[in-house]
């Protein structure tokens, strides 16, 4: 009996996307089915190339064909992706703001120095490594980090339409206030000047088509942060904290700030979770306390995205312009950073699937 396309679809309708809770056929994820004798080929279009379930879904598809269609079938699966779009509704007059950007992620904290820039940079690079089109924007005008963390000192060019062309490194399009503003000058800028400069610099840049634009925010939950998050149609926010109480109190304020302006919190990251001395790989020292951010996430009912240990390589990579996730040899911190990026992409996919854009307006403004 020759294998038919209907049989293949039938079999794949038994494979459930664990995040979205529906089968791959209903979700329109199966494309390009080709059958040639015992050879069965098809494409699975996931909602993100950074899907942490990719291998599991591929295995389930393979098994479905083997068990439900023909155990002699030669199955060839192409795992591809089409990133879904999710953005908050834009305020009037902003219709074309960042129109080619599917998802905008803000990385925030209450307290300074907890690792926002480290998480933003590594998340952007890890998502790009997984195959997504990624941009990263550093909105911290008083203490920009991206020039150092990518070791870039040049100024971006302007195209013929007088739009800023982002620089590019490790597959990530980059813009930092630090590329444009003289640091000695920035110190005297007042809040409204900062937010209008950030807005201008976001809208007047040539980002092109992006799956994810990661926004590294300045520390705090004051006027500057509030204006920035309100001037951009954000998909969601990632809140970074260390496990210590002073940082957690501020992380709670950051979550409250996003909730107040109806920006979904995609999750909380615990940075500097513990330290393992290189010569004592089995030891974990909880320098800033243990598990505080995880507990906070549970209490606030937001996803916990993972914990990143304190590691010398994270710091030295940031200082030398080589984010730790590009290193060939992985480490507990780099693995954690990759997993956190994938979980963030996963939360975005879940959100985009469960909240249709039209209903989103209603829910957001309740």
Ligand X SMILES: Nc1ncnc2c1ncn2[C@@H]1O[C@H](COP(=O)(O)OP(=O)(O)OP(=O)(O)O)[C@@H](O)[C@H]1O
| Interface with ligand X (CB under 6 A) | 109, 112-118, 140, 143, 145, 219, 271-272, 308, 310-311, 314-315, 318, 333
| Minimum distance from residue 84 beta carbon to ligand X (Å) | 28
Q: Considering beta carbons, is residue 49 or 144 the nearer one to ligand X?
A: 144
For helices 116-129 and 332-354, give the axis angle rounded to 10 degrees.
80
Where would I find the H helices in the chain?
Answer: 5-12, 54-68, 116-129, 146-149, 177-180, 183-186, 191-203, 223-231, 245-260, 292-300, 312-320, 332-354, 357-364
Give the one entry of ligand X, Mg ion, none that residue 314 binds, where binding means its C-beta sits below a cut-off of 5 to 8 angstroms depending on kind: ligand X
Q: Is residue 138 a contact partner of residue 117, using CB atoms and an 8 Å limit?
A: yes
Q: Considering beta carbons, is residue 17 or 140 the nearer one to ligand X?
A: 140
Q: Considering beta carbons, is residue 259 or 315 the nearer one to ligand X?
A: 315
For the chain, the straight-line distance linking the first and the last C-alpha, in angstroms and rounded, comes to: 56
Q: Is residue 58 a contact partner of residue 24, using CB atoms and an 8 Å limit?
A: no
Find the binder of Mg ion among 47, 117, 331, 334 (CB under 5 A): 117
Q: Considering beta carbons, is residue 81 or 241 the nearer one to ligand X?
A: 241
| Minimum distance from residue 126 beta carbon to Mg ion (Å) | 18
Q: How far apart are CA 115 and CA 109, in angstroms?
A: 9
Give the one entry of Mg ion, ligand X, none that residue 311 binds, where binding means its C-beta sits below a cut-off of 5 to 8 angstroms depending on kind: ligand X
Q: Considering beta carbons, is residue 17 or 270 the nearer one to Mg ion?
A: 270
Q: What is the dihedral of CA 361, 348, 265, 290, to 10 degrees?
A: 170
| Minimum distance from residue 275 beta carbon to ligand X (Å) | 8
Q: How far apart are CA 277 and CA 193, in angstroms?
A: 45
The count of residues interacting with Mg ion (CB under 5 A) is 3
Stretch in the footprint of Mg ion (CB under 5 A) among 34-42, 109-117, 146-154, 256-264: 109-117
Q: How far apart are CA 107 and CA 216, in angstroms?
A: 5
Q: Considering beta carbons, is residue 143 or 289 the nearer one to Mg ion?
A: 143
| Minimum distance from residue 351 beta carbon to ligand X (Å) | 24
- Residue whose C-beta lies closest to Mg ion: 117
Whose tokens are 């444009």? That residue is 180
Q: Considering beta carbons, is residue 132 or 217 the nearer one to ligand X?
A: 217
Pairing of strands 22-23, 16-17: antiparallel
| Minimum distance from residue 118 beta carbon to ligand X (Å) | 3
Considering only residues 118 to 147 of the shown chain, the ones binding Mg ion according to CB under 5 A are 145
| Minimum distance from residue 147 beta carbon to ligand X (Å) | 12
DSSP symbols for 19-32: TTTEETTTTT-EEE
Q: How far apart are CA 70 and CA 310, in angstroms?
A: 50
| Minimum distance from residue 107 beta carbon to ligand X (Å) | 8
Q: Residue 168: in which H helix or E strand, if any?
A: strand 167-169
334 binds Mg ion (CB under 5 A): no
Q: Which residues bind Mg ion (CB under 5 A)?
A: 116-117, 145
């Amino acid at each position: 009996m020759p294998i038919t396309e209907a049989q293949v679809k039938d079999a794949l309708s038994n494979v459930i996307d664990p995040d979205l809770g529906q089968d791959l056929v209903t979700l329109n994820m199966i494309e390009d089915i080709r059958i040639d004798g015992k050879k069965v080929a098809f494409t699975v279009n996931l909602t993100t190339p950074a899907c942490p379930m990719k291998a599991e879904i591929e295995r389930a598809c393979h098994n479905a064909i083997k068990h439900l269609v023909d155990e002699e079938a030669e199955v060839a699966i192409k795992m591809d992706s089409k990133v879904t779009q999710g953005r908050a509704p834009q305020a009037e007059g902003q219709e074309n703001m960042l129109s080619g950007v599917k998802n905008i992620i803000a990385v925030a904290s209450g307290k300074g120095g907890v690792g926002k820039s480290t998480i933003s940079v590594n998340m952007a690079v890890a998502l790009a490594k997984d195959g997504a089109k990624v941009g990263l924007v550093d909105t911290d005008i008083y203490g920009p980090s991206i020039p150092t963390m990518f070791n870039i000192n040049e100024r971006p060019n302007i195209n013929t339409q007088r739009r800023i062309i982002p620089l590019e490194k490790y597959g990530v399009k980059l813009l930092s206030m630090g590329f444009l503003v003289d640091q000695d000058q920035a110190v005297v800028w007042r809040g409204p000047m900062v937010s209008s400069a950030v807005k201008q610099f976001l809208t007047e840049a040539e980002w092109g088509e992006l799956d994810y634009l990661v926004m590294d925010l300045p520390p705090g939950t004051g006027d500057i942060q509030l204006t920035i998050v309100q001037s951009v149609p954000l998909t969601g926010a990632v809140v970074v904290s260390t496990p210590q109480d002073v940082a957690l109190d501020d992380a709670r304020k950051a979550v409250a700030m996003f909730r107040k302006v109806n920006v979904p919190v995609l999750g909380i990251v615990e940075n500097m979770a513990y330290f393992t001395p290189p010569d004592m790989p089995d030891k974990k020292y909880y320098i800033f306390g243990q598990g505080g951010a995880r507990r906070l996430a549970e209490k606030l009912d937001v996803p916990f995205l993972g914990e990143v240990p304190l590691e010398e390589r994270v710091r030295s990579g940031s200082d030398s312009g080589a984010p730790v996730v590009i290193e060939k040899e992985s480490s507990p911190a780099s693995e954690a950073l990759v997993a956190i990026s994938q979980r963030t992409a996963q939360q975005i996919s879940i959100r985009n699937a469960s909240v249709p854009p039209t209903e989103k307006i209603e829910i957001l403004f309740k």
